[in-house]
Amino acid sequence: MEYDPGPVPDSVDWYGRQGQEPTIVSISDIHGYLDAARNALTAVGETDVYSPVVTTDEEGRLHWADNDYLLVINGDLIDRGPDNRACLELLTRLAEEAPPGRIRYHLGNHEMAVLFPNRFRWPGVFSIELDRDLRRAFVTHVAAGRITAAFDGYRYTYAHAGSTDSFDVTTVNESVRTAGGKLRAMFEDGQYDDDHLDILPEHETVFGIGEGGGRGPSAGLLWMDFKHMTADAPPQIVGHSRHQEPTRTGQVVCENVIRTNLGSPGGEAVLLERPDELAAVVNTPAGARVRTMDAD
């Protein structure tokens, strides 16, 4: 897995210091469904509001469209669907083609299963069954900070499941890098298979599954169910919990819509954040539709 996105800053402020103001495009929970991801990403360029994020070649492969975007894949790129390796290839291809720093890949709970396979009992699932070389490469990317868990956008913070409480993105991403470094050292020392679960208690803010078998209100940033999000939670863009369409609770918007819409035409969506607006672009049978997601 040759993945090099260039700089992976913790905040959009980094781009401002470079004289840049990219529109943030986010998509979550692709789960190995490449066609659905294609429908969501290409819908942006089918509107009369936004330039394309990606283009499609003669073989149906997506390529970076060289417009002013920052793409956030907000966790759970893999598992469940039939095209897991193709989704990872899409990630690496876009990172190669986009300007440095314009592709972000966040951990979701299924990427957690890549790091900690003994924690889960998901037979036949890609994250559990993948080969050792790919798992080690993934761990290496996490240790190097190329795969992170959170990002501060213009007004919203991005994380896979989010939190009802404020959290510091830099601290969270440093915790992820530290965990990745420990796992990488275990690989090098031959201790990974036996010992990789030992570090989980040190990183509960990110990897904690919570009470009742997971997804409870005390779960970490990769696991809490959206139904526990409170009206006074800080502004966030999250995925993890399935919805028919992008859904807001208070200041938090959940963008996980792909799997719920697999059985019907359309419904795939991305969110786009600019300094003064948040919108969804939804693929529908009648064409792409832009929907404002700012609070009333």
Domains and CATH numbers, the chain: 13-292 (3.60.21)
| pLDDT per position as a tens digit, 47-60 | 999 999 999 999 99
Per-residue pLDDT of the chain (296 residues; tens, 9 = 90+): 899 999 999 999 999 999 999 999 999 999 999 999 999 999 999 999 999 999 999 999 999 999 999 999 999 999 999 999 999 999 999 999 999 999 999 999 999 999 999 999 888 899 999 999 999 999 999 999 999 999 999 999 999 999 999 999 999 999 999 999 999 999 999 999 999 999 999 999 999 998 877 899 999 999 999 999 999 999 999 999 999 999 999 999 999 999 999 988 999 999 999 999 999 999 999 999 999 998 76
| pLDDT per position as a tens digit, 60-97 | 999 999 999 999 999 999 999 999 999 999 999 999 99
User: In the structure encoding, which two tokens stand for residue 4, read together?
Assistant: 């090099």
- Distance set, CA 263 to CA 78, 110, 114, 247, 266 (Å): 19, 22, 28, 19, 9
Closest residue by Cα to residue 110 from 141, 161, 75: 75
User: In the structure encoding, which two tokens stand for residue 57, read together?
Assistant: 């070649």
Strands (E), the chain: 23-27, 54-56, 62-64, 69-73, 103-106, 147-148, 150-152, 157-159, 236-238, 247-249, 252-254, 269-274, 277-284, 287-292
